[in-house]
Structure 1
Amino acid sequence: MKSSNKTKLGRILLCSSLLGLSLSACSSPSSLIGESFTLEGELPANFSLKAQAHYGVANGCDGGRRQAKSFESGFQDDKQQYRFTIPVSYRDGLCEMRLARVGLFIHGRYGDKDWQQTYDNGGLEIVDKLPEGAPGFDANGILTRQAECTWWFQQSTAKSRLGEISKLLNCNGTGAHLAANELPGKVVRLGFRVNPEETPSYDRRWIETAAGWKPCQETELSERCQTPPVFKTFKMNGRECTVYPNCTE
């Protein structure tokens, strides 16, 4: 082999070696990309959960912007198990995207009409350090939380269904703090249950009796119950009712 050819070959091998080192150095941070955690649990019948994961640029690359990924269970007539695999990080071109928070939307339906659905919010906050007293993952890498949802009933003020029973959803215990450096590979187990006792959405507009809840007639000065109370009727699924939830006494 001529010396000039040997020189060229040496240069090629040297460049290939340097290129390999360069690619290795550039790709080492990407070994973190693709990590995820699992959000799972049980939903009551006629409930659906939507998780919206929000991401921000972590490596300061130009042109990067906040992004979101959504996961949703859908409604079922019976209780159901849900399971979402949520990325902790991923690449978008040259940008490294890191999970910032997960918004939760708990949907419930109490009838077959479009307006007989509502929701409440929750969220998983991603932090560098857990707040004092906040629970962490156990030895098996699981964080278990139990949320409770209560239906708040009221008389609708919408013209199309004036006086008809409508409901709001109020859920407690639907949040958690998660340490960012502990999150990959872990499981957040968030279950939901429904409080069997429904309550009015406003205080002092309904009075509970042995037969159930009865709505008070408002006056010119107040919508609250007076002494002595004067009761009124309401509508429920097209029926004229005097007591909730049984309609009639």
Structure 2
Amino acid sequence: MKFLKNSYIRAILWPGLLGISLSACSALGSFGGETFTLEGELPANFSLKAQAQYSVANECNGRWQAKTFQSNFDSAPHQYRFKIPVSYRDGLCEMKLGKVGLFIYGRYGDKDWQQTYDNGGLVIVDKLPEGAPAFGEDGVVAKTAVCSWWFQLSKAKSRRGEISKLLSCKGAGAYLPVSELDQKTVRLNFEVDKQERPYLRGYWLKTQRGWKPCTGRWETKFEELCTEPPQFRAFRMSGRECTVYPNCTE
């Protein structure tokens, strides 16, 4: 009789427990699933890393988290495409996208030190700032960032007097309204300015043959402010002794 009684109780309670369990699973899965696409074109010898940062959106003791997306270098112009969550659930914590940091990497040689980067970012907002581009009817917002190479003489002891470069990218970011972000596309293309410039203004003189680094009263191992009349110094590039950049010889 006791066995029959317990079986009867289980028969009554099981459908209810199953319903509660399914409801809980449904609630857990209700937050998240929203994504947007970040895509575009990269120049040859460039790569891109996107680091999406998330904060807790409910009464959970979780900390902020990050998801990283990265493309590879390629010797030819190439495309990248990342599908980035707008929100997701980690256990009981509801994680909501706060921003996406961008790291634009460029290389100008085959050595480790001949690689550098600049920063950009996608800022998640409740309302677009005035003048910021909005998503079109096709669900796309498109921008182009222009990256410039700035050259200088390296100050590192192991390669002092050798040409090194810094990267500067303008327009590498956008404001994105969080309420409109799901299933949208951010198309961010990167281009390279064909004109390279000295990092230190007034330390190189532009001639018909190219840029020449000045030396001055101190005659240091680095470029100095150009004097009148200008005096020039030699430098090294890819193992060669040079007098003008980028052609090396005049």
Q: Same fold (TM over 0.5)?
A: yes
Alignment partners' CA distance in 2, 1:177 and 1:22? 40
Give the count of matched residue pairs.
Answer: 245
Identity of aligned residues (%): 64
Structure 1 unpaired stretches of 5+: none
Deviation string, structure 1 residues 137-176 (Cα, Å, up to 9, x no partner): 1001101010000000000011100000000000000010
CA deviation after TM superposition for structure 1 residue 74, in Å: 1.1
What's 1:240 paired with?
A: 241
2:15 matched to 1:33? no
What's 1:190 paired with?
A: 188
SS of 2:112 mapped into structure 1: coil
SS of 1:130 mapped into structure 2: coil
CA deviation after TM superposition for structure 1 residue 121, in Å: 0.2
SS of 1:115 mapped into structure 2: helix
What's 2:164 paired with?
A: 166
2:142 matched to 1:141? no
Counterpart mapping for 1:58-77 below 5 A: 58-62=57-61, 64-77=62-75
Alignment partners' CA distance in 2, 1:114 and 1:52? 22
CA deviation after TM superposition for structure 1 residue 220, in Å: 3.6
Is the contact between residue 121 and residue 172 of structure 2 (CA under 8 Å) also seen in structure 1?
A: yes
Counterpart mapping for 1:117-132 below 5 A: 117-132=115-130
Alignment partners' CA distance in 2, 1:227 and 1:101? 50
Alignment partners' CA distance in 2, 1:42 and 1:59? 37
The structure 1 segments of at least 4 consecutive aligned residues displaced by more than 6 Å after TM superposition are: none
Alignment partners' CA distance in 1, 2:21 and 2:112? 58
CA deviation after TM superposition for structure 1 residue 224, in Å: 1.1
The aligned amino acid for 2:77 is K
RMSD of aligned alpha carbons:
2.3
CA deviation after TM superposition for structure 1 residue 9, in Å: 5.3
What's 2:54 paired with?
A: 55
SS of 1:20 mapped into structure 2: helix
Alignment partners' CA distance in 2, 1:196 and 1:39? 26
Is the contact between residue 28 and residue 92 of structure 2 (CA under 8 Å) also seen in structure 1?
A: no
Alignment partners' CA distance in 2, 1:19 and 1:227? 88
2:164 matched to 1:180? no
The aligned amino acid for 1:237 is S
Counterpart mapping for 1:93-104 below 5 A: 93-104=91-102
What's 2:103 paired with?
A: 105
Alignment partners' CA distance in 2, 1:219 and 1:176? 46
SS of 2:23 mapped into structure 1: helix
What's 1:115 paired with?
A: 113
The aligned amino acid for 1:239 is R
Structure 2 unpaired stretches of 5+: none
Alignment partners' CA distance in 2, 1:115 and 1:13? 71
The aligned amino acid for 2:35 is S
CA deviation after TM superposition for structure 1 residue 18, in Å: 7.2
CA deviation after TM superposition for structure 1 residue 22, in Å: 7.4
What's 1:83 paired with?
A: 81
Alignment partners' CA distance in 2, 1:223 and 1:231? 9
TM-score by length of 1: 0.91
TM-score by length of 2: 0.91
Deviation string, structure 1 residues 79-126 (Cα, Å, up to 9, x no partner): 111000111111111111111110000000000011000000000011
SS of 2:105 mapped into structure 1: strand
2:212 to 208, 211, 214: 214
2:90 matched to 1:92? yes
CA deviation after TM superposition for structure 1 residue 181, in Å: 0.9
The aligned amino acid for 2:96 is R
CA deviation after TM superposition for structure 1 residue 30, in Å: 3.2
